[in-house]
Amino acid sequence: MKEFIVLKRNLKNDFSNLKKIRIALLGDTATQLLTQALRATGFDAGYDLIIWEADFNQIQRQVFDPGAELYTFNPEIVLLFQSTHKLLQKYNKLPPEQYSSLATKEIALIENIHATLVSRLQAKVIYYNYPEINDAVFGNYANKMASSFLFQLRKLNYELMEFASQQSDFYLCEVSSLQNELGKSNLFHTSVYINTEMVLSINALPKVAANTIDLINALQGKFKKCVILDLDNTTWGGIIGDDGMENIQIGSLGIGKAFSEFQYWIRKLKNRGIIVAVCSKNTESIAKEPFEKHPDMVLRLDDIAVFVANWENKADNIRQIKDILNIGYDAMVFLDDSAFERNIVRENIPEITVPELPEDPADYLEYLYGLNLFETASHSKEDEERTKLYQIAAQRTQMQQKFTNEDEFLQGLDMVSMIEPFNKFNTPRVAQLSQRSNQFNLRTVRYTEEEIRKIASSEDYFTFSFTLADKFGDHGMICAIILKKEEDGVFIDTWFMSCRVLKRGMERFVLNAIADEMKAQGFHYLKGQYIPTPKNELVKDHYLHLGFKEKNNHWTLDLNNYQTEKTFISANK
Amino acid sequence: MDRNEIFKHVNEVFIDVLDDGNIVLSEETTANDVDDWDSLNHIQLVVAIEKLFKIRFSSKEIQSWKNVGEMISCIQGKAA
C-alpha cells in the first residue's frame, strides 16, 4: 500500500475522465488529511470523489439544520467520523451516575442523525466505528463494570452493529479492526493529536481511506464474486501427483493446520455466496481424489462450482471458468502459491486480482485478511445457494453441447417463469440485483431497498419481477423491470437480468409479458434506452433485436402493431 | 551524524513531502519562506523526519522551532 506522501501526489493527476461521486465528510476532529487520502485513493480506484468537508466539529449543526450547506451540497454518500477521543471527553464530563448510560445516549443520537440524513437526502451513510481506548481506571475489572469507559465503548460498537443490521442505508467502516491490525501506537500518534486534533496517524490514513473505498466500491456494485484456487501447496501442502493422497499435508498437525484453516476460510466464503472454482495443473481424477476421500479435507466437491484440472495454461483455463460462470474478470480472485503461474495469469488477464501470496503457508490467512478482498454491500439468502446454481449451469453447458438445434435444446429445458410485481418478499433480491448487475443492465441505475419499496408503492410505476426454473433447478428471481408511466406509453426505466440465464430467450419472454400487460392497460408504446457503461456492451443492441425503432437516442416499440415473440418459457402467474 | 548531513536529509524530506524540487533550505529558513509550509504540511514534515531518523519529537518541540536551524539542532540532539 502506498504511503501517504506518495498517495497524495495523485491529487495533482487529471480526474476528469473518472466517475464522479459526491461525498460529504463530517468529523468531530481534524479531517483534512483524511479528505486528501480519500480523494487520492479514489483516483486509483477510478473515482473522482467530490468531497465536501464540514467545518470541524459541526456534525450536529450540519445534520439538524435543514438549511445547512450539507443539504445544498446534496451528497450521494455521507461519511461520519466521530472519534473515540471525543467520546472519551464526553464521558469524562458526565456526572458519574450517568457513565453507564453513555452508549445508550450516543446510539440514540447516531440513530437520530441517520434518520434525519436519510429523510432529507438520497444518500448512504458510512459510519466509522470506534477503535478502543482503555483508560485503565478499573484495570481488567472494567469488564465487570457497566460504568467503565471500556464497557461503554464496546457496548456502543456493538449497538452500532445492531443498528446497521436493521438499516439498509447505514454502513459501518472498521477503524476498530484496523487498530487491532496496526496497533494503537501506529493508528494514533500522540504529538500529532495534541498539535493538530487529528486522531489518525499519517501512516494510518491510506489504510482508513482504502477501507472506505472498499465500501464505496461495493456500494457501486464493484465487488468480488469468485475465488479460483490452485491446489498443490495452496489448498493443501505437497504435490498430490508426486506425494500421493496419503502424504499431502492437511489436518491438525504441523503445517497441515495452515492449509486446513485456509480451507475453512474458503468454505465460509462459499457459504456466504462467493463462488469457489479450482484451477490446477494436475490429472483431473488425481486432483479430485482428496476432495472425495481424504478424511481431513474441509472442502468437498460440493463446495466447488467449477473444477478445472488439466495441463493447459492457467490463463486459458481461467478464461474457460469465466465463460461458464459468466462474470467479469474484475470480480475474480486467483490464489496460487507459484509466482510463475501468478505472473502468467496477471499478464494475460490484467483485470483479475492476483494476491502476492506469502512464501510461508502459515502467513496465508493473515495476509488475505489484511487485503479485505470480499467486501459487499448486501447479502441475501440466494447468495448462499449460488454454488449450487453454478454447478447446475456447468451441467447445462455440457447438455447444450449435445444439442445442435438451439430450439430443441431450449424446449428440452422445460422452463417456467413466475411473474410478480415487486413485493416485500422479492424487494431485497431486486435491490441486490440492482446493485450487482452490470452486464445485462440497460441503464445501470442502482436502487436501494428503500427506493425499490417507494417505486413499488408509487402510482407512477409498474414493476415486474421474473423467476426462472428449469428441469435442472431453480434460478430464483433473475430479472426485474421498472416501467414509468408517460402520457400514452411507458418508459422502461430499468431492465436488468442475471447473466446466469442468458441465451434462454428470457428477454423475449419478458418483452411479451410487459407488452401484453401494457397493451391491456391501454398504453400505445414502450420506450427504452441504452446507457453505455464499460460493462454492458452485451445489451447494446438489445432493443434493436427486440424490434424497437431508434429515435433520438431512445428506442420505441409500437404496441398496436406488436407481434408476440417466440419463446420456450411458460408463465406461472 | 554531522549537521551538514542532517541538513541534506531534511532538505530531501521537504522536497518529498511538499513535492517541490526547488526547495533549498538554510539555517534561517522559516515557514513564511517556503510555499505550502502550513500547519497541515508541518505535521507531515515532522512525521517524515521522525521516521527517517527513527526519533520522536515531543509535542512541545514540534511547535517550538523558529526556523530550520532550530529544527536541525533538535534532530541532532536526538539522532545518535
As given in the structure block, the three cell numbers for residue A72 are 445544498
Of A32, A149, A25, A167, nearest in space to A86 by CA:
A149
What ipTM was assigned to the predicted interfaces of this complex?
0.89
Share of chain B above pLDDT 90, in %: 81
Domains and CATH numbers, chain A: 4-219 (3.40.50.1110), 226-371 (3.40.50.1000), 403-571 (3.40.630.30)
Cα–Cα dist A89/A111, whole Å? 21
Q: Give residue-wise pLDDT tens across range A518-531.
A: 999 999 999 999 99
**CA A320 to chain centroid:** 24
pLDDT band at A340; cut points 50, 70, 90 = confident
Distance from CA of B17 to the nearest CA of A (A): 6
Stretch B55-69: mean pLDDT:
92
- pLDDT (0 to 100) of residue A219: 92
Look-up of cell digits 454491500: A377
| A9 in B contact zone (CB under 8 Å) | yes
pLDDT at A502 exceeding the cut of 80: no
- pLDDT (0 to 100) of residue A394: 73
Q: A91 Cβ partners below 8 Å, 6+ apart?
A: A99, A102, A149, A152
- pLDDT (0 to 100) of residue A258: 96
A258: left (phi over 0), alpha (psi -120 to 50) or beta: alpha
Residues of A in contact with B59 (CB under 8 A): 190-191, 194-195
Stretch A402-409: mean pLDDT:
68
CB < 8 Å from B in window 33-62 of A: 33
As given in the structure block, the three cell numbers for residue A305 are 462450482
As given in the structure block, the three cell numbers for residue A63 are 445534520
Q: Decide if A202 and B59 are in contact by the 8 Å CB cutoff.
A: no
| A401 in B contact zone (CB under 8 Å) | no
User: How many other CB atoms are there within 10 angstroms of residue A182's CB atom?
Assistant: 18
Cα–Cα dist B65/B73, whole Å? 10
Answer with the residue of higher pLDDT: A503 or B61.
B61
Q: Give residue-wise pLDDT tens across range A205-216.
A: 999 999 999 999
Kindly calculate the radius of gyration of chain A based on its CA atoms and give it in whole angstroms. 26
- pLDDT (0 to 100) of residue A402: 59
Residues of B in contact with A201 (CB under 8 A): 47
Q: A260 Cβ partners below 8 Å, 6+ apart?
A: A250, A251, A252, A296, A298
Q: Could you write out the DSSP letters of every residue in A103-161?
A: HHHHHHHHHHHHHHHHHH-S-EEEEE-PPP----SSGGGGGG-TTSHHHHHHHHHHHHH
Residues of B in contact with A196 (CB under 8 A): 39-40, 43
pTM to 2 decimals? Answer: 0.74
Residues of A in contact with B39 (CB under 8 A): 196
Q: Decide if A192 and B56 are in contact by the 8 Å CB cutoff.
A: no
Q: Decide if A191 and B44 are in contact by the 8 Å CB cutoff.
A: no
Q: Could you write out the DSSP letters of every residue in A435-458?
A: HH--SSBSS-----HHHHHHHHT-
Main-chain dihedrals φ then ψ at residue A26, nearest 5 degrees: -120, 120
**CA A462 to chain centroid:** 27
- pLDDT (0 to 100) of residue A404: 56
Give the start-to-end residue ranges of the domains of chain B: 3-78
CATH code linked to domain B3-78:
1.10.1200.10
pLDDT band at A375; cut points 50, 70, 90 = very high
Q: Give alpha helix (H) positions in B19-80.
A: 39-53, 59-64, 68-78
Q: Decide if B19 and A9 are in contact by the 8 Å CB cutoff.
A: yes
Q: Decide if A191 and B40 are in contact by the 8 Å CB cutoff.
A: no
Of A38-42, A293-297, A398-402, the one with minimum mean pLDDT is A398-402
Residues of A in contact with B40 (CB under 8 A): 32-33, 196
Share of chain A above pLDDT 70, in %: 98
pLDDT at A259 exceeding the cut of 90: yes
Are the CB atoms for B74 and B57 separated by under 8 Å? yes
Q: Give residue-wise pLDDT tens across range A68-80.
A: 999 999 999 999 9
Residues of A in contact with B62 (CB under 8 A): 191, 195
The distance between the two most distant Cα atoms of chain B, rounded to a whole number of Å, is 31
Residues of A in contact with B20 (CB under 8 A): none
pLDDT at A389 exceeding the cut of 60: yes
Q: Give residue-wise pLDDT tens across range B27-61.
A: 999 999 998 899 889 999 999 999 999 999 999 99
Of A75, A41, A35, A85, nearest in space to A55 by CA:
A35
Q: Decide if B16 and A32 are in contact by the 8 Å CB cutoff.
A: no
Q: Decide if A191 and B17 are in contact by the 8 Å CB cutoff.
A: no
Which of A5, A32, A195 has the CB atom closest to B48's CB atom?
A5
Residue A375 sits at the vertex; the CA angle it makes with A429 and A308, to the nearest 5 degrees, is 85
pLDDT band at A433; cut points 50, 70, 90 = confident
CB < 8 Å from B in window 112-131 of A: none
Residue environment code for B43-69, b if the CB has 16+ CB neighbours within 10 A, otherwise e: bbbbbbbbebbeeebeeebbeebebbb
As given in the structure block, the three cell numbers for residue A345 are 495469469
- pLDDT (0 to 100) of residue B79: 77
pLDDT at A405 exceeding the cut of 80: no
Cα–Cα dist A467/A336, whole Å? 37
| A4 in B contact zone (CB under 8 Å) | yes
How far is residue A64 from each of residues A25, A61, A67, A69, B8, measured CA to CA in Å?
15, 6, 9, 11, 52
Residue A460 sits at the vertex; the CA angle it makes with A455 and A466, to the nearest 5 degrees, is 55
Average of per-residue pLDDT values in chain A: 92
Cα–Cα dist A431/A428, whole Å? 5
pLDDT band at A387; cut points 50, 70, 90 = confident
| B47 in A contact zone (CB under 8 Å) | yes
Q: Give residue-wise pLDDT tens across range A159-182.
A: 999 999 999 899 999 999 999 999
Stretch A560-570: mean pLDDT:
89
pLDDT at A400 exceeding the cut of 70: no
pLDDT at A1 exceeding the cut of 60: yes
How many residues are listed for chain A in this entry? 573
| B72 in A contact zone (CB under 8 Å) | no
Question: Which value, to the nearest 10 degrees, does the dihedral of the CA atoms of residues A258, A264, A270, A272 take?
Answer: -120
Stretch A340-362: mean pLDDT:
93
Stretch A389-417: mean pLDDT:
75
Q: Could you write out the DSSP letters of every residue in A495-507?
A: EEE-GGGTTSSHH
How far is residue A569 from each of residues A200, A412, A481, A564, measured CA to CA in Å?
57, 11, 17, 13
**CA B25 to chain centroid:** 9
